[in-house]
Structure 1
Amino acid sequence: MYQYTQQLTNPNTNYFIIDSSSSASHNDVDFKYYSYQNKSNKQIQPGDLFIYRRSGSASEWGNEFYLYGAGQFGEVVREDPLTGSDLLAIKNPYLFSHHLMKQNLRTFDWTFRKFKGKWSNFFNMNGITQINKEDFIGLLDRQQTMAPTDLTAEEESLAVKCYQAEKMEAYFINDNAKGIPTKAAANKFFSDKVKFNYHYKSALVANDDEEDLVATRIVPWDANQDIRLDPRNGICLTKLFSNAFTQGYFTFDDRGHMILSDIASDDPETNKILNKYQNRKIHMNREYSPNKNYLQYHREHVFRK
């Protein structure tokens, strides 16, 4: 929260949870612009802080809302007198290291409003819910606790750019950006995006222990700069399977069935578990299932034949 130190110490700062649409036709651009009705919503001022919420109606995750980032309201960049809408610039954007889903918020101690066990009408229908400073800090702490990261301010900014690039299906990222190594920032975005796509569960085994889950690249980071930000180059696996997959002890066919290498691992316990899951099919989803070209690369260049 280092980028919000000045605002957090300012007694005039207000705090909000705002809904942002995932629709490309909407004026909102995550972490860049926010559109709102200035006539009916007078409480927002430049310098105020907010947390992004994707509402259930706009969610890609089974109609479930989630919180995914934070920022600071900047100045008005465009006014529309016909609709009464203002377009605000977003400053100091921050991408959460872990989406906060309903199950992550069940034990959260809200202070702005009493949570009575049901989410209906908990957030304001106009998409702007004013919260307390304690809630803002607590929510940022919660996501950081669930997926700790230790990035510089420059790397945090890069993580946001990775998020925006992926939204535009631009998956290339170089090793460095203006002299800053990109891997840590890209991995922050990529790791949570892949786990989010797989509903924070292993694609191969019945395991939803998040501490044991790894967003595993199919094509290694160093092999292709053009696909580094593509979530379809990732599979959510447990640590044991992630290590074995990365080392080429098994791969997948185009339909997602596991193919076991004839070359055994040095660890007998790993071999025993891999044999148990031979021919097991991973979860495949039309929108985020592994790209078949990436699976072919893994079979040809990583898999131990």
Structure 2
Amino acid sequence: MFESLLEGFNNPSLRFFIFDSKNDHLIYGDKDFDEYHWDQARYNKPRIGDFFLYRRPQKASEVKGQFYIYGLGKIKSIQNINNVDDATQKKRDKHVIAHVEQGIRFKDPILQSDLEDFEWTFKKRGNTWEHFFQQYGMNEINQTDFIALLKMGLENQLDALDMSSVEEDIDYRVEDKRANVKIRGKDQRDFSLQVKLNYQYRCAISGITSKEFLIASHIIPWAVDWDNRKNPFNGICLSSLLDKAFDKGYITIDQQYRVVISNKAKEDKALFMYLKQYEGKKLEVPKQYLPKQDFLEWHRNRFINN
């Protein structure tokens, strides 16, 4: 599948970019994988048919101290905006909207820390990231770097190539009639990304940061609550083993966000000794989307109180 995607990059006239999101141009109403706005008086290189990667810069990133690259887009069309505000007419005469197609959100973003040893060819980075990306937030890169980054982003994500668009809303409900393999995969992928970003790509209990071992755990399982299948308040980022322990009721979380070990865990001595080290430990919870107490109470009642 990736090879077929690469065929679209063979045109020698194509240009490749990294576009920053949630920057100053947010005031014009950007929407990821749908529209991207900029001022041609300040930057006029992108053209119809060009490809770009989305980057969340450090100052807007949910992951403290790190930018991340999180998706692919293609410029479908570029539309000039007619300004109706006389006070700003001169300032925005060159303002345009790029309509985006072939949007693909990566299952897991490429974190800044993942790129420390990346060999850029479009320019030399040096020992720091300072001044590597221009401040305006639109950077032209070459095809070599673009394809290498895309391969990193799409690693272990063949199903992402079926996504023609990415919808963003606050509807967390997913009905069973939609929960076939393809649709459930997309909904779970959106949920997983949001939860992992909330927790800075760190297990809330163990502190593990290796992305391969991190799971976005539902507090109330997918099969139980349609209305909160995509709700980030219903998620905790855990390592794969702790995710399984939480899902099966070997551990739960009290009202103070501290780990509680169930009697069930004592049935396996080695497992109990591993979990014991976290007994009473307080979760490293995010500033937003704190696990909802009603959901945690449901989990305790299911595994501990009954």
TM-score, reference length from structure 1: 0.88
Displacement of 1:125: 1.9
Displacement of 1:49: 0.1
Distance change in 2, residues 1:139/1:249 (3 Å): same
Q: State the partner residue of 1:123.
A: 133
Q: State the partner residue of 2:146.
A: 136
Displacement of 1:224: 1.2
* Preserved CA contact (<8 Å) 2:101 2:164: no
Please point out which of 121, 142, 150 is paired with 2:158.
150
Uncovered stretches (5+) of structure 1, i.e. residues with no partner: none
* Preserved CA contact (<8 Å) 1:64 1:101: yes
Query: 2:81 corresponds to which letter in structure 1?
Result: E
* Preserved CA contact (<8 Å) 2:64 2:200: no
* Preserved CA contact (<8 Å) 2:233 2:291: yes
Number of equivalences:
296
Query: 2:158 corresponds to which letter in structure 1?
Result: D
1:73 aligns to 2:81 (yes or no):
no
Greater RCO, CA 8 A, separation 6+? 2
Distance 1:178 1:276 in 2: 37
> Pairwise CA RMSD of aligned residues?
2.4
Distance 1:283 1:138 in 2: 34
Distance 2:59 2:159 in 1: 33
Q: State the partner residue of 1:262.
A: 263
Uncovered stretches (5+) of structure 2, i.e. residues with no partner: 84-88
Distance 1:56 1:152 in 2: 25
Distance change in 2, residues 1:136/1:178 (3 Å): same
Distance 2:273 2:103 in 1: 46
Query: 1:59 corresponds to which letter in structure 2?
Result: S
Q: State the partner residue of 2:12.
A: 11
Q: Deviations over 1:102-159 (max 9, x none)?
A: 21111111111111121111112221100011111111111233xx2231644x347x
Displacement of 1:2: 6.2
Q: Deviations over 1:63-105 (max 9, x none)?
A: 5322111100111345235312111111010101222222111
Query: 1:112 corresponds to which letter in structure 2?
Result: F
Q: State the partner residue of 1:282.
A: 283
Displacement of 1:44: 0.9
Distance change in 2, residues 1:206/1:60 (3 Å): closer
1:111 aligns to 2:112 (yes or no):
no
Displacement of 1:264: 3.5
Distance change in 2, residues 1:100/1:219 (3 Å): same
Map 1:11-90 to 2 at 5 A: 11-21=12-22, 25-81=27-83, 82=89, 83=92, 84-90=94-100
Distance 2:17 2:100 in 1: 14
Distance change in 2, residues 1:101/1:256 (3 Å): same
* Preserved CA contact (<8 Å) 1:3 1:153: no
Query: 1:70 corresponds to which letter in structure 2?
Result: L
Displacement of 1:25: 4.2
Distance change in 2, residues 1:60/1:238 (3 Å): closer
Secondary structure in 2 aligned to 1:237? strand
TM-score, reference length from structure 2: 0.87
Q: State the partner residue of 1:184.
A: 185
Distance 1:33 1:284 in 2: 32
* Preserved CA contact (<8 Å) 2:78 2:96: yes
Distance 2:305 2:245 in 1: 11
1:101 aligns to 2:111 (yes or no):
yes
Q: State the partner residue of 1:234.
A: 235
Distance change in 2, residues 1:47/1:107 (3 Å): same
Distance 1:267 1:141 in 2: 41
Query: 2:72 corresponds to which letter in structure 1?
Result: A
Q: State the partner residue of 2:252.
A: 251
Distance change in 2, residues 1:258/1:139 (3 Å): same
Distance change in 2, residues 1:283/1:178 (3 Å): closer
Displacement of 1:205: 1.5
